[in-house]
Amino acid sequence: MRISENRAIVKAENLVKTFEEGRVRALDGVNLEIQEGQFVSIMGPSGSGKSTLLNMIGALDRPTEGRITVADVDLANFRDLDEFRAKTVGFVFQLHNLVPTLTALENIQIPMFEMDLSLGERVERAKKLLMVVGLEKRMGAVPSKLSGGERQRVAIARALANDPKIILADEPTGNLDTASSDEILHLLLDLNKGGQTIILVTHDPEMAGHANVVFHMKDGKILETTCK
């Protein structure tokens, strides 16, 4: 395979997703292409299909119609979506979804159980990831002892656990104050500078302003694409 600088890591063609036996058309014919290493933002009003699109890219759900290819995998026809997810994508949600009874260091190791690592290797890797997000001093803390911004940093470290090709972040700063939101944005920007492909759903035009490409959604369609 020829590797060029502009390699599509995500390609969607006429993507349709309906719910409730077709009564809800969450995605109504989405076409897009995302290149490896890009920082992409998805904006649009509540209910416009942003999360549904992210879930399709992350193979949390299959499309009703159309094609979606992520990292050369045709998701509509691929059998083992669990394996695809474990290897290819890291999710960060608005609510961090950390396990409350586990420490930061332990939470980060959860996705690593899909990999062939010894306990020692897992712990080492989790510590390195906590350093990446600047939380090595808090590794023994359970989520309730961390601030909102710190929890979200742990969630990002967890999303990075299996060295995913793409980070999918669905309004990751939706519950955070401005200072913590800035921290998360800069962490994502730093990861992107290191080559990580990032797809960020956000309501915040300032956050979206840092993206290479912004897809503006409405009623399950991409109405407009702005590029930097």
Convert 162-192 to b/e letters by CB count within 10 Å (16 or more is b): bebbbbbbbbbbeebeeebbebbbebbeebb
CB of 60 to ligand ADP, least distance (A): 10
Q: Which stretch binds Mg ion (CB under 5 A): 43-51, 112-120, 145-153, 156-164?
A: 43-51
Single residue of 38, 41, 48, 51 touching Mg ion by CB under 5 A: 51
Give 30 or 108: the residue with its C-beta nearer to ligand ADP: 30
With 0-12 / 13-18 / 19 or more C-beta atoms within 10 angstroms meaning exposed / middle / buried, residue 103 is: buried
Closest approach of Cβ 170 to Mg ion, in Å?
Answer: 6
* 162, interface contact from Mg ion, ligand ADP, none, CB < 5-8 Å by kind: none
Nearest C-alpha neighbor of 135 from the set 118, 114, 157: 157
For 92, the 3-state DSSP assignment is strand
Residues 24-43 that bind ligand ADP (CB under 6 A): 24, 26
Of the listed pieces 17-25, 135-143, 156-164, 186-194, which binds ligand ADP according to CB under 6 A?
17-25
CA distances from 223 to 127, 140, 207 (A): 42, 46, 19
Q: Which is nearer to Mg ion, 61 or 106 (CB)?
A: 61
Q: How far is the CB of 207 from ligand ADP (least distance, A)?
A: 16
* Binding residues vs Mg ion (CB under 5 A): 50-51
